[in-house]
Amino acid sequence: MSDQVVKVVVRKRQEQGDGVVVLDLGDPTGLPLPAFEAGAHVDIHLPGGLVRQYSLCGNPAERSVYRLGVLKDPASRGGSVAVHEHLLEGQQVQISVPRNLFALAAKARHSILIGGGIGITPMVAMAYALQARDSQFELHYCGRSRSRSAFLDELQQADFAACVHTHFDDEAPAQKLDLPAVLGAPGADVHVYVCGPAGFMDWVIAQALEAGHADDHIHREYFQVEVDNSGAGFEVVASRSGKSVQVAEGQTILEALAGVGIKIDISCEQGVCGTCLCDVLEGEPDHRDVYLTDDEKAANDQILVCCSRAKSKKLVLDI
Protein backbone atom coordinates (compact mmCIF):
# COMPACT_ATOMS: atom_id res chain seq x y z
CA MET A 1 0.00 0.00 0.00
CA SER A 2 1.36 3.39 -0.92
CA ASP A 3 2.40 5.66 1.95
CA GLN A 4 1.51 8.79 0.00
CA VAL A 5 -2.05 9.91 0.62
CA VAL A 6 -4.13 12.28 -1.49
CA LYS A 7 -7.28 14.03 -0.28
CA VAL A 8 -10.11 14.02 -2.84
CA VAL A 9 -13.78 14.91 -2.92
CA VAL A 10 -16.64 13.03 -4.56
CA ARG A 11 -17.61 15.36 -7.40
CA LYS A 12 -20.16 13.09 -9.03
CA ARG A 13 -21.97 9.92 -8.01
CA GLN A 14 -24.11 7.85 -10.34
CA GLU A 15 -25.88 4.53 -9.94
CA GLN A 16 -25.46 2.29 -12.97
CA GLY A 17 -26.64 -1.21 -13.71
CA ASP A 18 -27.49 -3.36 -10.72
CA GLY A 19 -25.65 -2.32 -7.57
CA VAL A 20 -22.79 -0.40 -9.19
CA VAL A 21 -21.94 3.12 -8.08
CA VAL A 22 -19.69 5.17 -10.38
CA LEU A 23 -17.73 7.88 -8.61
CA ASP A 24 -15.79 10.83 -9.98
CA LEU A 25 -13.15 11.92 -7.45
CA GLY A 26 -11.40 15.27 -7.79
CA ASP A 27 -8.95 17.48 -5.97
CA PRO A 28 -10.88 19.72 -3.50
CA THR A 29 -9.17 22.82 -4.91
CA GLY A 30 -9.51 21.85 -8.55
CA LEU A 31 -5.84 21.05 -9.13
CA PRO A 32 -4.85 18.19 -11.48
CA LEU A 33 -4.54 14.80 -9.84
CA PRO A 34 -1.37 12.69 -10.07
CA ALA A 35 -1.02 10.99 -13.43
CA PHE A 36 -1.89 7.32 -13.79
CA GLU A 37 -1.55 4.61 -16.40
CA ALA A 38 -4.27 2.22 -17.53
CA GLY A 39 -4.61 -0.76 -15.18
CA ALA A 40 -3.79 1.28 -12.08
CA HIS A 41 -5.80 1.31 -8.88
CA VAL A 42 -5.99 3.41 -5.74
CA ASP A 43 -6.34 2.45 -2.09
CA ILE A 44 -9.38 4.13 -0.51
CA HIS A 45 -9.34 4.82 3.23
CA LEU A 46 -12.88 4.13 4.41
CA PRO A 47 -14.66 4.57 7.75
CA GLY A 48 -13.76 2.06 10.42
CA GLY A 49 -10.15 1.83 9.33
CA LEU A 50 -10.92 -0.15 6.18
CA VAL A 51 -8.57 0.20 3.22
CA ARG A 52 -9.70 -1.23 -0.10
CA GLN A 53 -8.40 -1.17 -3.68
CA TYR A 54 -10.46 -0.09 -6.68
CA SER A 55 -9.38 0.17 -10.30
CA LEU A 56 -9.33 3.52 -12.06
CA CYS A 57 -11.71 3.25 -14.98
CA GLY A 58 -11.53 6.70 -16.54
CA ASN A 59 -9.43 8.05 -19.38
CA PRO A 60 -5.79 8.27 -18.21
CA ALA A 61 -5.42 11.46 -20.25
CA GLU A 62 -8.02 13.15 -18.02
CA ARG A 63 -6.27 14.59 -14.94
CA SER A 64 -9.18 16.41 -13.34
CA VAL A 65 -10.92 13.32 -11.93
CA TYR A 66 -10.34 9.71 -10.98
CA ARG A 67 -13.30 7.51 -11.91
CA LEU A 68 -14.17 4.37 -9.95
CA GLY A 69 -16.87 1.77 -10.38
CA VAL A 70 -17.76 -0.17 -7.22
CA LEU A 71 -20.16 -3.11 -7.06
CA LYS A 72 -22.07 -3.52 -3.81
CA ASP A 73 -21.06 -7.10 -3.09
CA PRO A 74 -23.45 -9.09 -0.87
CA ALA A 75 -20.38 -11.03 0.32
CA SER A 76 -18.51 -7.82 1.09
CA ARG A 77 -16.21 -7.67 4.10
CA GLY A 78 -17.31 -4.08 4.56
CA GLY A 79 -15.48 -2.20 1.81
CA SER A 80 -18.04 -1.97 -0.96
CA VAL A 81 -20.86 -1.40 1.54
CA ALA A 82 -18.90 1.50 3.07
CA VAL A 83 -18.35 3.02 -0.38
CA HIS A 84 -22.05 2.83 -1.21
CA GLU A 85 -23.19 4.20 2.15
CA HIS A 86 -20.62 6.90 2.84
CA LEU A 87 -19.13 8.20 -0.41
CA LEU A 88 -21.83 10.68 -1.34
CA GLU A 89 -21.37 13.78 -3.49
CA GLY A 90 -19.36 16.39 -1.61
CA GLN A 91 -17.81 13.83 0.75
CA GLN A 92 -14.05 14.06 1.19
CA VAL A 93 -11.96 10.90 1.39
CA GLN A 94 -8.30 9.96 1.46
CA ILE A 95 -6.81 7.76 -1.24
CA SER A 96 -3.33 6.59 -2.15
CA VAL A 97 -1.55 7.77 -5.25
CA PRO A 98 -2.28 5.35 -8.12
CA ARG A 99 -0.16 2.25 -8.42
CA ASN A 100 -0.18 -0.26 -11.24
CA LEU A 101 0.03 -4.05 -10.94
CA PHE A 102 -1.90 -4.64 -14.18
CA ALA A 103 -0.07 -2.55 -16.75
CA LEU A 104 -0.42 -2.75 -20.52
CA ALA A 105 2.49 -4.35 -22.37
CA ALA A 106 4.43 -1.61 -24.08
CA LYS A 107 5.12 -3.44 -27.36
CA ALA A 108 1.91 -5.39 -27.93
CA ARG A 109 0.65 -5.37 -31.50
CA HIS A 110 -2.77 -6.67 -30.53
CA SER A 111 -4.44 -6.63 -27.11
CA ILE A 112 -7.42 -8.78 -26.13
CA LEU A 113 -9.27 -7.26 -23.17
CA ILE A 114 -11.80 -9.53 -21.42
CA GLY A 115 -13.84 -8.17 -18.52
CA GLY A 116 -16.38 -10.13 -16.52
CA GLY A 117 -18.97 -8.11 -14.59
CA ILE A 118 -17.35 -5.35 -12.53
CA GLY A 119 -14.03 -6.60 -13.93
CA ILE A 120 -14.76 -4.28 -16.84
CA THR A 121 -13.43 -1.32 -14.82
CA PRO A 122 -9.69 -1.53 -15.62
CA MET A 123 -10.52 -2.52 -19.20
CA VAL A 124 -12.26 0.81 -19.82
CA ALA A 125 -9.09 2.72 -18.94
CA MET A 126 -7.06 0.32 -21.07
CA ALA A 127 -9.31 0.92 -24.06
CA TYR A 128 -8.81 4.69 -23.78
CA ALA A 129 -5.04 4.23 -23.51
CA LEU A 130 -4.80 1.81 -26.44
CA GLN A 131 -6.88 4.10 -28.61
CA ALA A 132 -4.57 7.00 -27.75
CA ARG A 133 -1.60 4.82 -28.78
CA ASP A 134 -3.38 3.91 -32.02
CA SER A 135 -2.85 0.30 -31.00
CA GLN A 136 -4.97 -2.61 -32.21
CA PHE A 137 -7.28 -4.08 -29.58
CA GLU A 138 -10.64 -5.66 -28.87
CA LEU A 139 -12.67 -5.35 -25.69
CA HIS A 140 -15.05 -8.12 -24.64
CA TYR A 141 -17.53 -7.31 -21.87
CA CYS A 142 -19.26 -10.34 -20.33
CA GLY A 143 -22.16 -10.15 -17.90
CA ARG A 144 -25.32 -11.80 -16.73
CA SER A 145 -27.65 -9.19 -18.20
CA ARG A 146 -27.41 -5.94 -20.15
CA SER A 147 -29.81 -4.27 -17.71
CA ARG A 148 -27.54 -5.12 -14.77
CA SER A 149 -24.30 -3.91 -16.35
CA ALA A 150 -22.54 -0.56 -15.87
CA PHE A 151 -20.56 1.58 -18.35
CA LEU A 152 -22.54 0.43 -21.40
CA ASP A 153 -23.54 3.93 -22.50
CA GLU A 154 -19.97 5.18 -22.19
CA LEU A 155 -18.57 2.25 -24.16
CA GLN A 156 -21.19 2.57 -26.89
CA GLN A 157 -20.50 6.29 -27.30
CA ALA A 158 -16.70 6.09 -27.14
CA ASP A 159 -14.55 6.64 -30.20
CA PHE A 160 -13.43 3.02 -29.84
CA ALA A 161 -17.02 1.65 -29.77
CA ALA A 162 -16.31 -0.50 -32.85
CA CYS A 163 -13.76 -2.44 -30.78
CA VAL A 164 -16.28 -3.24 -28.02
CA HIS A 165 -18.15 -6.55 -27.99
CA THR A 166 -20.77 -7.41 -25.37
CA HIS A 167 -21.76 -10.91 -24.28
CA PHE A 168 -24.73 -11.42 -21.95
CA ASP A 169 -26.00 -14.68 -20.47
CA ASP A 170 -29.67 -13.85 -21.08
CA GLU A 171 -29.35 -12.84 -24.75
CA ALA A 172 -29.11 -14.77 -28.02
CA PRO A 173 -26.61 -17.64 -28.13
CA ALA A 174 -24.90 -16.12 -31.16
CA GLN A 175 -23.60 -13.18 -29.11
CA LYS A 176 -22.15 -15.23 -26.28
CA LEU A 177 -18.40 -15.25 -25.82
CA ASP A 178 -16.71 -17.74 -28.16
CA LEU A 179 -13.49 -17.80 -26.21
CA PRO A 180 -11.39 -20.00 -28.54
CA ALA A 181 -12.30 -17.72 -31.47
CA VAL A 182 -11.55 -14.58 -29.47
CA LEU A 183 -8.19 -15.87 -28.24
CA GLY A 184 -7.19 -16.97 -31.72
CA ALA A 185 -3.63 -17.92 -32.56
CA PRO A 186 -0.99 -16.84 -30.04
CA GLY A 187 1.85 -14.58 -31.06
CA ALA A 188 4.86 -12.88 -29.55
CA ASP A 189 3.09 -9.53 -29.88
CA VAL A 190 -0.40 -10.63 -28.77
CA HIS A 191 -1.35 -10.02 -25.13
CA VAL A 192 -4.47 -11.11 -23.22
CA TYR A 193 -5.89 -9.21 -20.22
CA VAL A 194 -8.61 -10.58 -17.96
CA CYS A 195 -10.37 -9.29 -14.86
CA GLY A 196 -13.56 -10.43 -13.15
CA PRO A 197 -14.85 -13.15 -10.82
CA ALA A 198 -12.21 -15.74 -9.92
CA GLY A 199 -13.98 -18.63 -11.67
CA PHE A 200 -14.41 -16.61 -14.86
CA MET A 201 -10.76 -15.57 -14.79
CA ASP A 202 -9.52 -19.10 -14.16
CA TRP A 203 -11.52 -20.28 -17.19
CA VAL A 204 -10.11 -17.58 -19.47
CA ILE A 205 -6.55 -18.14 -18.26
CA ALA A 206 -6.80 -21.93 -18.69
CA GLN A 207 -8.22 -21.54 -22.20
CA ALA A 208 -5.52 -19.03 -23.15
CA LEU A 209 -2.76 -21.35 -21.94
CA GLU A 210 -4.34 -24.28 -23.77
CA ALA A 211 -4.45 -22.20 -26.95
CA GLY A 212 -0.70 -21.66 -26.64
CA HIS A 213 -0.52 -18.11 -25.27
CA ALA A 214 2.58 -17.64 -23.14
CA ASP A 215 1.87 -17.26 -19.44
CA ASP A 216 3.68 -13.90 -19.32
CA HIS A 217 1.40 -12.68 -22.13
CA ILE A 218 -1.72 -13.43 -20.05
CA HIS A 219 -2.24 -10.52 -17.67
CA ARG A 220 -4.69 -10.85 -14.80
CA GLU A 221 -6.14 -8.87 -11.93
CA TYR A 222 -8.22 -10.59 -9.29
CA PHE A 223 -10.74 -8.64 -7.23
CA GLN A 224 -11.57 -11.34 -4.74
CA VAL A 225 -10.43 -14.91 -4.08
CA GLU A 226 -11.16 -17.58 -1.51
CA VAL A 227 -8.46 -17.92 1.14
CA ASP A 228 -7.48 -21.47 2.11
CA ASN A 229 -5.88 -21.67 5.59
CA SER A 230 -5.82 -25.45 5.79
CA GLY A 231 -2.64 -27.37 6.44
CA ALA A 232 -0.35 -28.32 9.29
CA GLY A 233 1.05 -25.73 11.68
CA PHE A 234 4.56 -24.35 11.41
CA GLU A 235 6.91 -21.92 13.11
CA VAL A 236 7.55 -18.35 11.96
CA VAL A 237 10.59 -16.48 13.15
CA ALA A 238 10.61 -12.69 12.83
CA SER A 239 14.34 -12.06 12.33
CA ARG A 240 14.52 -8.34 13.04
CA SER A 241 12.00 -8.47 15.88
CA GLY A 242 13.65 -11.47 17.52
CA LYS A 243 10.30 -13.16 18.07
CA SER A 244 9.06 -16.63 17.20
CA VAL A 245 5.47 -17.83 16.93
CA GLN A 246 3.65 -21.03 16.03
CA VAL A 247 1.06 -20.70 13.24
CA ALA A 248 -1.82 -23.10 13.83
CA GLU A 249 -3.92 -24.81 11.19
CA GLY A 250 -6.68 -22.43 10.14
CA GLN A 251 -4.70 -19.43 11.33
CA THR A 252 -2.90 -16.97 9.08
CA ILE A 253 0.70 -15.89 9.56
CA LEU A 254 -0.67 -12.38 9.91
CA GLU A 255 -2.89 -13.39 12.83
CA ALA A 256 -0.11 -15.30 14.55
CA LEU A 257 2.31 -12.37 14.25
CA ALA A 258 -0.29 -9.98 15.61
CA GLY A 259 -0.61 -12.24 18.64
CA VAL A 260 3.02 -11.54 19.58
CA GLY A 261 2.77 -7.83 18.91
CA ILE A 262 4.12 -7.70 15.34
CA LYS A 263 1.93 -5.52 13.15
CA ILE A 264 2.03 -5.86 9.36
CA ASP A 265 0.29 -3.44 7.01
CA ILE A 266 -2.72 -5.13 5.44
CA SER A 267 -5.51 -4.31 3.04
CA CYS A 268 -7.25 -7.01 1.00
CA GLU A 269 -6.36 -9.97 3.28
CA GLN A 270 -6.84 -12.28 0.28
CA GLY A 271 -3.44 -12.34 -1.39
CA VAL A 272 -4.50 -9.91 -4.10
CA CYS A 273 -2.99 -6.50 -3.36
CA GLY A 274 0.56 -7.22 -2.11
CA THR A 275 0.36 -4.89 0.89
CA CYS A 276 1.57 -7.53 3.38
CA LEU A 277 4.49 -8.77 1.27
CA CYS A 278 7.49 -9.87 3.38
CA ASP A 279 10.96 -11.14 2.48
CA VAL A 280 11.75 -14.77 3.28
CA LEU A 281 15.23 -15.45 4.69
CA GLU A 282 14.86 -19.17 5.34
CA GLY A 283 12.32 -21.90 4.67
CA GLU A 284 9.94 -22.76 1.83
CA PRO A 285 6.66 -20.83 1.47
CA ASP A 286 3.42 -22.44 0.38
CA HIS A 287 2.22 -19.66 -1.92
CA ARG A 288 -1.57 -19.26 -1.95
CA ASP A 289 -1.78 -15.73 -3.32
CA VAL A 290 -2.62 -14.40 -6.79
CA TYR A 291 -0.28 -11.41 -6.48
CA LEU A 292 3.15 -12.93 -7.11
CA THR A 293 4.05 -14.20 -10.57
CA ASP A 294 4.97 -17.85 -11.08
CA ASP A 295 8.64 -16.87 -11.35
CA GLU A 296 8.46 -14.86 -8.12
CA LYS A 297 6.81 -17.78 -6.36
CA ALA A 298 9.48 -20.16 -7.64
CA ALA A 299 12.20 -17.89 -6.17
CA ASN A 300 10.69 -18.46 -2.70
CA ASP A 301 12.18 -15.24 -1.33
CA GLN A 302 8.89 -13.42 -0.70
CA ILE A 303 5.56 -14.29 0.90
CA LEU A 304 2.15 -12.68 1.44
CA VAL A 305 1.45 -13.33 5.11
CA CYS A 306 -2.30 -12.74 4.87
CA CYS A 307 -2.94 -16.01 3.06
CA SER A 308 0.17 -18.11 2.32
CA ARG A 309 1.59 -20.78 4.57
CA ALA A 310 4.78 -22.90 4.77
CA LYS A 311 5.85 -26.19 3.23
CA SER A 312 8.82 -26.30 5.61
CA LYS A 313 8.52 -26.62 9.38
CA LYS A 314 9.94 -23.12 9.85
CA LEU A 315 9.93 -19.80 8.00
CA VAL A 316 12.31 -16.99 8.86
CA LEU A 317 10.99 -13.61 7.73
CA ASP A 318 12.84 -10.30 7.48
CA ILE A 319 10.55 -8.44 9.86
pLDDT at residue 275 is higher than 50: yes
**Percentage of residues of the chain with pLDDT beyond 70:** 97
Q: What is the pLDDT of residue 291?
A: 82
**Which of 64-68, 233-237, 249-253, 264-268 is predicted least confidently?**
264-268
6-59 pLDDT, tens digit per residue, is: 999 999 999 999 999 999 999 999 999 999 999 999 999 998 888 888 999 999
Residues linked to residue 94 through DSSP beta bridges, in sequence order = 7, 45
Looking at residue 315, the DSSP 8-state letter turns out to be: E
- Per-position DSSP letters for 175-188, written without gaps between them: GS--HHHHH-S--T
Q: What is the pLDDT of residue 1?
A: 45
**Which of 136-145, 172-181, 282-291 is predicted least confidently?**
282-291
Domains located in the chain, CATH noted: 5-100 (2.40.30.10), 110-222 (3.40.50.80), 234-317 (3.10.20.30)
The whole-model pTM stands at: 0.82
160-192 pLDDT, tens digit per residue, is: 999 999 999 999 999 999 999 999 999 999 999
**Residue 226 pLDDT grade (very low, low, confident, very high; cuts 50, 70, 90):** low
The count of residues in the chain is 319
Mean pLDDT of the chain: 93
Strands of 3-109, DSSP E = 5-16, 20-26, 40-45, 51-55, 65-71, 92-96, 99-100
